[in-house]
Chains A and B, each alone.
Chain A
Amino acid sequence: MTRPVPSRRSNIDTHRVTRSPLGPRSFHRDRRGSLALILLLIAVVFSLALTFLSRTSGERHLTRRLLLAERAEQMAEAAVAEAFWSVQQTMNRSGTEWYRQFRLPAPQAGAEQVVTLPESLRLMGEASRSEGGESSVECALRLRGLQPLQDPAAEPEEKTGFLEADVRVTIGPVVRRLRRVREVRVVRVGPPALLAPFTLWVTGAPGPGSIRAPGGLPGSPPGTLDPAILRAARRDWTYRWGSSRSGYPFSRARVSQFHATWQEFLDRTVDAAGTVHLAGVTVIGEAGDHELKQVSLTGQGALLLMEGSLTLRDVSVPQESDPKIAVLAQGAVLEVDPGGTSSPFRGHLMAPEGEVVTAPGLVIEGSVHAGQWDRSSPVTLRSRRQPLPHVVTLSEVSFEIDDA
């Protein structure tokens, strides 16, 4: 008789069994795995956060440098402007250092004349202080390429060259350097040197080369000029400013601005306030009759009409200005009418081959040099301070020097 074999299934049925496909150690491995996953996740998140933060910090740093660079650029432009302005203010004012520097005899071509003057840059000093202690503005002005004027009759003081402003602006880590140049021209703008001491010189008076001057006029001795001096003065004058009809060469090296037509001169020179600023030598080529009416003449320069005639009507001249007005053509007329203004005409009237016509009651503080002067009506002529024989001009256009 056989004993029944117990069924395996009965074992299964009768015992509760927990299945674990991984084995007895699998629970401990799960726990460590979860912990590892969590740590890995935290590490990834922190890495992303740090990367993002560092990138933002880098962008902020770069942007701050960009903003500082833009501010330094504007400060450099401002420093150059103020440097040239400081030169313009004093270059034609006797007794100043720039006045003296510009009128030194020109060195050999290509030599560099460094002017070691401390520039005020007052405005830029205030601006740099507003940026805090990290900012600074430095400026150096140099005269470069000074050459004698290309003219056989050039005087030692007459020259051309360049004025360079070299500016360095530092704001924190940002440094900006800017170098700009303007052309410099130093020329005689007044009458010939031989005639400069005379307040009045009229060649058309009775007798050649006679001077007719009101009694007691300082600096204008009555009588006649020595014929030799007269010839030398006329030769000097016509050589410098001779018209095409005279046959003498025209010295173009002295000209700062040339306008083919009178309208072009008005369009480019008369500003909205009705001011005509004469700097250097301005030449008008157009023939005909021209008029300046109700304007203010400023500056130390000269206005020369090669072919035409000119009428100054109701023109005012500020105290500090000293313009020279000349008509060069033979027979040209330079007329001055004060109109309604009671202030004197301060300046110098020249018509070496023509005629000066003055209205009644006119007061002239300056000089008159003319072939003819119609003084049938009373005119008061007062001597003024000696006009500047040489005037410095800076070109309107500036050029930037690139070191690259």
Chain B
Amino acid sequence: MHSPIAMTAPGSRRFGLSLVEMLLAFAVMALTLIPLAGTFASGSMATRQIVDSTIAMGLAAEQLELMRVRPYGELATLPTSRPIDGAILPRGYSGTLSWREPAPGSLMEARARISWTVAGDRMRSLELSTLILNPRGP
């Protein structure tokens, strides 16, 4: 009569996870998570760069529009290169406005350059330029 209780025969496998299997599992997890962590890190950095560039482009476009609405004669009296007021820029951003007249009195080239710091104190910059016409002609 067999015992209702199961009996293990000598030499049979035993239930549980061995140390090798655990190490194998951890190795697989490491192989997966470490690159993933790097991916998330670089993705976050890329997202940050996207945001910074977008902000810089918006600031540059805004500065050029502010120049465009001023009377042409008044623009010509401004310094040919001047820094943008830091009070209107977000923290970490700086900029310069410059202009020159390819056709004195009638056509002006305006440039807005925005710079910002990224991780590691590195500087990145973006420049936008356009032409402004004296509506009253030469």
Residues of A within 8 A of B (CB): 11-12, 15, 17-20, 23-24, 26-27, 30, 34, 38, 41-42, 45-46, 48-49, 52-53, 56, 59-60, 63, 66-67, 70-71, 73-75, 77-82, 84-85, 88-89, 123-124, 127, 271-273, 275, 277, 279, 298-299, 393-398
Contact = CB atoms under 8 A, between A and B. Distances in A.
A49 B36 contact: yes
B54 A78 contact: no
Q: Secondary structure of the A side of the interface?
A: helix
B50 A60 contact: yes
A36 to B, nearest CB: 13
A18 B132 CA distance: 91
7 contacts: A45-B32, A49-B35, A77-B68, A78-B109, A89-B103, A272-B76, A277-B136
B92 interface: no
Contacts of A15: 3, 7
B13 A123 contact: no
A63 B68 CA distance: 25
A347 to B, nearest CB: 17
Given A53-B43, A88-B137, 15 more contacts: A15-B3, A17-B8, A19-B5, A20-B6, A38-B28, A56-B43, A56-B46, A63-B53, A67-B54, A67-B57, A70-B58, A73-B61, A89-B106, A271-B76, A394-B137
A122 B34 CA distance: 53
Nearest to B46: A56
A26 B76 CA distance: 88
Contacts of B68: 77
Which interface class (under 10, 10 to 19, 20 to 34, 35 or more) fits B?
A: 35 or more
B32 A23 contact: no
B120 interface: no
B135 A272 contact: no
Nearest to B42: A56
A63 B54 contact: yes
A396 B107 CA distance: 14
Nearest to A398: B135
A299 B72 CA distance: 16
